[in-house]
Structure 1
Amino acid sequence: MAQHNLEEHSDNQIFRQDKELSFAFLCGIFLLVGFLIETLSNFSHWLPLSSYIISYVFGAFFITIAAYKKIIKGGFDIDFLMISAAGGAAYIGSWAEGALLLFLFSLGHALEHYAMNKAKKSIEALGELSPKTALVKKKDTLVEIPIEDLRINNVIVVKPNTKIAADGVIISGSSSVDQAPITGESIPLDKTCIANTEHLPEFTDIDRRHIVFAGTINGDNSLEVLVLKLTEDSTVSRLIKLVSEVETQKSPTQRLTKKFEKWYVPIVIIVVFLLCLAHLVIDESFNTSLYRAITVLVAASPCALAISTPSAVLSGIARAAQKGILIKGGKALEDLGEITTMAFDKTGTLTEGRPQLTNIIPFHNFDDNTFLKLVLEVESLSNHPLAKAIANDIIKKYAIEFQHEASEVYEIQGKGIRAIYEDNEVFIGNVKLMEASGIMVDDFVLTKMKGLLENGHTVMIVACNKAVIGLISVMDTPRKSAVATLKRLREIGIKHMIMLTGDHQNVGDAIAKQIGLTDVKGNLLPEDKVAAIQTLIKRDKKIAMVGDGVNDAPAMALSTVSVAMGAAGSDVALETADVALMSDKIENLPFVIGLSRKSKQIIKQNIWISLSVVALLVPVTIFGLTNIGVAVAFHEGSTVVVVLNALRLLRFKMD
């Protein structure tokens, strides 16, 4: 029911945002129609006036509702001031000026609302990670129950290629488990059952070979899992909680805006009210005092100020969209321009996101083709993710065709594979497999393996007829554009670039060495990444986090600006992120940072322009040194200047 209500509320928000934007455009259309009739024809003044009135209705509709809701709570904000200014302009006959005020303000209002409510779906997306039901083993039968009804010490059965329903320890079976949804590890891990379940240590102290997480994906074999955490305490639930907590925090910019409204709007209202009573103090008529008060109200209405940031934000977002980059609102656009520290996830962000064949090392006079053909024939019959990657790369890179010449394939969980090829017994796997099969692995082979392992490769020994005949290795390789991108980031002022990864420290170090990073933190679970981000924020105040997986969501939500890799990114990371690289091109990072810095510069310029005009006009109009026409001309002139300045962002290019 709560989920249904959340979705219904989300749908209502989207409907209101669309309607608000439509009303803003209708306001502008009727404003333009009225202006054209008034300036280009001799029709009765009632015709353009009618068009202006309709423009008022559309432009003021949502602003009036927002102002009313604030007023009944005892407060006044810029919405109220804009309505008052538009009303004052209408009272003295300046309908076009008032309609323009409403159009510009309502358009900025609508576009900001539309852009800034996208991240709310992240919690719903996180909730989809876990399956809805679990198969619980009760004596000799299996009972399907909702995961909410699972209890600690229940035994659940996880069928091949299905999602695991709870955090727990494997008590029967072995399989490879894809943990990418939780830890971000690029290569599925071999999991085996624990030997003794009577005196289990704490969940976090159990060997990771025996534990599984809710939301991860089982491989080709069935597992029996002893549930050690309730649904609300699972890793996925912690992710949801972390994202929820971070998303409810208000930004300093929001708080500053609220403080500004609290003093600016009441002061303007008080000043205008006192000016209406000026005829009681000085020798002038009530109409003169009223005219001056309305002029001040128009001069003080923060139209240029209100549109200064939204216009720059809109232009920046539009320019980013032309490059295939989605920026979710002004806060992200502004904050990204101040970033000097960036944290990166590894898998799918700095790397390709899948294991690739990196080395073939045949021994004993085996030539490359003969060695590769043997490996291809054996590995093609395995369903293990690494075997599939090796077979695919051999076919792709070396143009060797699969001939179905191997047979009697047998997978030994956690060790490797055995098969018969051309009447020869072949083993491909780790040192344990070789030792268990009576195959000697000499120091020469171990030294070769050590060098590869230290550089982050996953290494497998190939043996035929009880003798080692070579080595093969796989690795999640860096993106081709990663080196140039990181170099460009350093050139534009990103001083610190840190990799945060769930993979082994050696793997992270190897990738960092290849692409030019100097700081790597490996073996990280989602909560570890959050702790790392918290440490970086304490040191550098503002940081950006670039990631692509569900496991990155809490860390991304906590960072000042979160950037998701689009095509390769999970739905959760995409929804949670402030910036999404839709084309999955990491080389767009320098562009979006440069665009953000330019946007920040233009926003500052616009604020100074708008405040300077208000600071000039208000005193002049208070002392009656100018009329309403001049006030409106300067006021609207500043608005035009602000908008034109913002539109420069549409032509932004990196130097």
Structure 2
Amino acid sequence: MNRLQKWVYGNWSVPVVSGVLIIISFALQWLGGGVANLTVSPQWWLDAGSHATHASAVFTLGDVFMIAAAAVAGYGIVVKAVRALIAKVIGIDLLVSVAAIGAVIIGNFWEAAAVTFLFAVGHALEAATLNKTRSALAELVAVAPDSATVVRDGQQQEVPAAQVRMGEIVLVKNGAKVPVDGQVVSGTGAIDEASITGESIPVEKSKGGQVFAGTVSRGGFLQVLATGIGADTTLARIIHRVEEAQDAKARTQAFIDRFSGWYTPAVMVLALVAGLVSGDVVLALTLLVIGCPGALVISIPVAIVAGIGRAARNGILIKGGEFLETSAKISAVAVDKTGTLTEGRPQLTDVVVLDSTLERSEVLRWAAAAEAGSEHPLARPILDTAQAEGVGPHGIPGSVTPVPGKGIVSDVDGRRVLIGNPPLLLQYGVVDDGSAAQAAESLAAEGKTPMIVAVDDKVIGVVAVADQIRQDAPEMVARLHRAGVEKVVMLTGDTRLVAEAIGKATGIDEIHASLLPEDKLDVVAQLQQEGHTIAMVGDGVNDAPALATANIGVAMGAAGSAVAVETADIALMGDNLLKLPEAIGLAKRTVSVMRQNIAIALITVVLLLAGVFAGGVTMSIGMLVHEASVLVVIANAMRLLRNARGSTAMPKSERTSGTAAQQVNA
């Protein structure tokens, strides 16, 4: 399609042609309205406002151009109105069509041309500015790579990105876009992942690292094994989700749509009654024009599109308008501890020997041998340390029996090994003289997870595992409070002492410890009964019941999880905790803009109605103000595309390394 064709089929062709015809009409009238008179048959109804009189219609050439201007601008409006009527919908186009045709019938050609021209201009401006509100989605589409360099038959080949095959090796050079989701198999490099996670600082990648389509290499050379191509990439899923979310209706928008369904016919009835009572057709047509609910109808969707687009640009995916509205009401946030408040990479910190006949290495060996068959996340740091110190287990234990909420029981070389908490010892009749419980309590008070080790019927020691609090966890809690969240609650399966140590370090308001997955659900339900709107942040596995029960389920670090991107109410693509208060703050700003837009739309209609009945507001003035209100509403929503004050970047004071006091459990 060439440039001329693009213009002809573009948004501005109709208002430009109509505007030129209006200018020609005024020019002819200025030069002398009687340049040419045209007598038209059949007879014309000149005075439809009172009693009709039959006469031959006499037009100036200027009138002809004015009617042509109204026809050019009004044709599309009438077509849309007819199509809507066929679908049994009475919309704005019908109001404008009736008003314009009525103005022509009574011989008010300027008003007909002005109303249709202004409506066409407003539509073009609306389309242009609405495109800007969808700019975030356009930016996401723009980052999709066009080509890829793959290794085929031992040779480098450049192919369209859509033709990369699963399992192929893709080469990512400095400055190139990553064309697929994949795993680095060789090389090192720095990848700018801002298009996916919203974080502008490049991330170092090496063997085993994960990369995403649409990200950009800022240095180095990577060989990537393609694990996601085409529509299966994270970028494609994000684009799909944003498209769906921007089109999804919020509850307020659904109400406005229902309201408009009654409001528009009511305006037509009002205009008809006013015309019949006053005998003034011009008054009735003017009421049709100024009663158009255009600004009201667009006030909600334009804000939702802008808000969701802004969030997506910052690496925050919100499922739709309904969830955006709900997020603005969040008064309590429940967070899982492991991997959310903490790094999720526990390490063995202590091995306390309680049997004088044993060495530290022997206590560690028994603990590692017992954990060798365990799937618990705390088993890995014990096994890793034992391997590093040369006392790692060989093979697997004879049997491993998990005891929920207490620990495990293992058969190691024919001997029973317990590793867990004091209730586990009590259940199996192992006597503790108090030293193990005291050591465990002391370690827990330091924010570590202690595990008592007993062989047969004798306690031999205590091992402790700890994780670090995320450096941005305290700042996240503080920002949540500033965003209007009344209560931040920690839900953890760990002991009370450990949970309190983390809570104190992060500023958590309420702590619920020693919870099973179903217990977390109960806590969320209780908070809802107290009147809170709850957001639950978790890993989506053992927190699944609580996430499903919460008003808003939040997934962190969702870039690598297709399930999280598709199912979470809010998906934080990166692993930045500060994105959570940013998401809530943006939701509140969006709802505030929605309310402002509704107020602007309603106040405009009320003032115009008052102006009509008071005198002075004509059809053309009414349409001008109406279109101005539509643009004001759109411009107000576009403010959401700007970043709010404050950054998700971590304060300099919090980028320092953690202290010993920040060591917490997994």
TM-score by shorter chain over 0.5? yes
8 Å CA contact retained: 2:130, 2:634:
no
Q: Which residue of 1 aligns with 2:400?
A: 413
CA positional deviation for 1:382: 4.6
Amino acid paired to 2:612? T
Partner Cα separation in structure 2 for residue 429 and residue 506 of structure 1: 19
2:447 and 2:554 map into 1 onto residues whose CA distance is 26
Q: 1:387 to 1:608 in 2, by over 3 A?
A: closer
Cα distance change of structure 1 residues 527 and 466 upon mapping to structure 2, 3 Å threshold: closer
Pair 1:87 & 2:86 matched: no
Give the structure 2 partner of residue 546 of structure 1.
Answer: 537
Asked if 1:646 corresponds to 2:637, the answer is yes
Deviations 1:40-67 (A, max 9, x none): 8999999999986796599x49x956x7
Match of 2:268 in 1: 269
1:599/1:649 contact within 8 Å kept: yes
CA distance in 1 between counterparts of 2:514 and 2:83 reads 54
Asked if residue 614 in structure 1 is aligned to residue 601 in structure 2, the reply is no
Paired with 1:403 and 1:600, the residues of 2 have a C-alpha distance of 60
Contact 2:264 2:293 in 1 (8 A): no
Map 1:335-484 onto structure 2 (within 5 A).
Answer: 335-353=326-344, 356-361=347-352, 378=369, 382=373, 384-386=375-377, 389-390=380-381, 394=385, 401=388, 406-407=393-394, 409-414=396-401, 415-416=408-409, 429-430=419-420, 443-452=434-443, 458-461=449-452, 470-474=461-465, 478-484=469-475
Aligned to 1:497, the other structure's residue is in SS state: strand
Kindly state the Cα deviation for residue 301 of structure 1 after the two structures are TM-superposed. 1.0
The AA in structure 2 aligned to 1:647 is: M
Residue 305 of structure 1, aligned match among 283, 296, 301: 296
**For 2:523 and 2:475, how far apart are their aligned partners in 1?**
26
Q: Is the 8 A contact 1:460 1:473 kept in 2?
A: yes
Contact 1:501 1:523 in 2 (8 A): yes
Q: Which moved more, 1:260-269 or 1:304-313?
A: 260-269
Question: What is the DSSP-based 3-state SS (H/G/I as helix, E as strand, rest coil) of the residue aligned with 1:413?
Answer: strand
Matched-pair identity in %: 32
Alpha-carbon displacement from aligned partner over 1:498-531 (angstroms, at most 9, x marks no partner) = 2345666666445434422232334656665555
Q: Deviations over 1:447-503 (max 9, x none)?
A: 212434577755345689999765322356643322221122224432222234566
Relative to 1, partners in 2 of residues 1:80 and 1:352: Cα closer, same or farther, differing over 3 Å? farther
Per-residue deviation at 1:271? Answer: 1.0
Contact preservation (8 Å) 2:311, 2:583: yes
Alignment of 1:150-161 (within 5 A): none
Find the structure with the greater CA-based Rg. Answer: 2
Deviations 1:51-100 (A, max 9, x none): 86796599x49x956x765x4xxxxxxx6232323434663344444445
Q: Post-superposition shift, 1:569?
A: 9.4
Distance in 2, matches of 1:651 and 1:500, equals 35
Measured in 2, the distance between the counterparts of 1:557 and 1:110 equals 35
Distance 1:333 1:112, change over 3 A: farther
Residue 212 of structure 1 corresponds to: none
1:179-228 Cα offsets, whole Å, 9 max, x none, are xxxxxxxxxxxxxxxxxxxxxxxxxxxxxxxxxxxxxxxxxxxxxxxxxx
Query: What's 2:60 paired with?
Result: none
Distance 1:555 1:104 in 2: 46
The worse-fitting range, judged by mean Cα deviation, of 345-354 and 373-382 is 373-382
Structure 1 pair 296–570 and aligned structure 2 pair: CA distance change class (3 A): same
Q: Which amino acid aligns with 1:483?
A: P
What amino acid is aligned across from residue 81 of structure 1 in structure 2?
G
Q: How does 1:63-102 map to 2 (within 5 A)?
A: 71=88, 80-88=90-98, 91=101, 92-93=112-113, 94-99=115-120
CA 1:277/1:610 → structure 2, altered by over 3 Å: closer, same or farther?
same
Distance 1:56 1:523, change over 3 A: farther
Identify the residue that residue 565 of structure 1 maps to in structure 2.
Answer: 556
Q: Secondary structure at the match of 1:637?
A: helix
Q: Report the AA paired with residue 429 of structure 1.
A: I
Partner of 1:131: none
Q: Corresponding residue for 1:237?
A: none
TM-score, normalising length: structure 2: 0.56
Structure-2 change in CA distance of 1:268 and 1:405 (3 Å): closer
Distance 1:367 1:89, change over 3 A: farther
Partner Cα separation in structure 2 for residue 387 and residue 544 of structure 1: 27
- The match for 1:580 among 564, 571, 580 is 571
* Distance apart, 1:376 and its partner CA: 9.8
The structure 2 residue matched to 1:31, chosen from 11, 18, 31, is: 11
Structure 2 residue 616 is the aligned partner of structure 1 residue 625: yes
Q: 2:311–2:318: 8 Å Cα contact kept in structure 1?
A: yes
Following superposition, the deviation at residue 35 of structure 1 comes to: 3.3
SS class of match (1:592)? helix
Tell me if the contact between 1:340 and 1:543 (Cα under 8 Å) persists in the aligned partners.
Answer: yes
Give the Cα–Cα distance (whole angstroms) in 1 for the partners of residues 369 and 546 of structure 2: 41
Query: Aligned partners of 2:518 and 2:126: how far apart in 1?
Result: 42
The equivalent of 2:183 in structure 1 is none
Specify the alignment match of 1:636 in structure 2: 627
Q: Does 1:498 align with 2:508?
A: no
Contact 1:88 1:298 in 2 (8 A): no
Shift of 1:378: 5.0
Distance 2:457 2:614 in 1: 102
For residues 312-352 of structure 1, give each alpha carbon's deviation from its aligned partner in whole angstroms, at most 9, with x where no partner exists.
Answer: 22222222122111123334334433433323344443344
Moved more, 609-618 or 564-573: 564-573
Give the conservation status (yes or no) of the 8 Å contact 2:271–2:287: yes
Paired residues of 2:256 and 2:297 also in contact (CA < 8 A): no
> Hey, what's the Cα distance between the residues in 1 that align with 2:626 and 2:614?
17
Q: Given the superposition, is the C-alpha separation of residues 556 and 276 from structure 1 closer, same or farther in structure 2, using an over 3 Å criterion?
A: farther
- AA aligned to 2:601 is S
Secondary structure of 1:586 counterpart: coil
Contact 2:558 2:564 in 1 (8 A): no
Cα 1:625/1:446, change in 2 over 3 Å: closer
Amino acid at match of 2:596: Q
Aligned to 1:517: 508
Contact 1:308 1:607 in 2 (8 A): yes
Change (3 A) 1:346 1:618: same
Query: Whole-Å Cα distance in 2 between the matches of residues 302 and 452 of structure 1?
Result: 66
Distance 1:259 1:52 in 2: 29
Q: Summarize the Cα distance change of 1:609–1:253 in structure 2 as closer, same or farther, 3 Å threshold.
A: closer
Q: Which of 536, 548, 562 is the aligned partner of 2:527?
A: 536
Q: 1:366 to 1:104 in 2, by over 3 A?
A: farther
Distance (Å, rounded) in 2 between the aligned partners of 1:393 and 1:97? 73
Distance in 2 (CA, whole Å) between partners of 1:465 and 1:539 is 48
Q: State how far apart, in whole Å, the 2-side matches of 1:106 and 1:531 are.
A: 48
Is 1:595 the equivalent of 2:586? Answer: yes
User: Which residue in the other structure is 1:9 paired with?
Assistant: none
Cα–Cα, structure 1 residues 312 and 386, in superposed 2: closer, same or farther, change >3 Å? closer
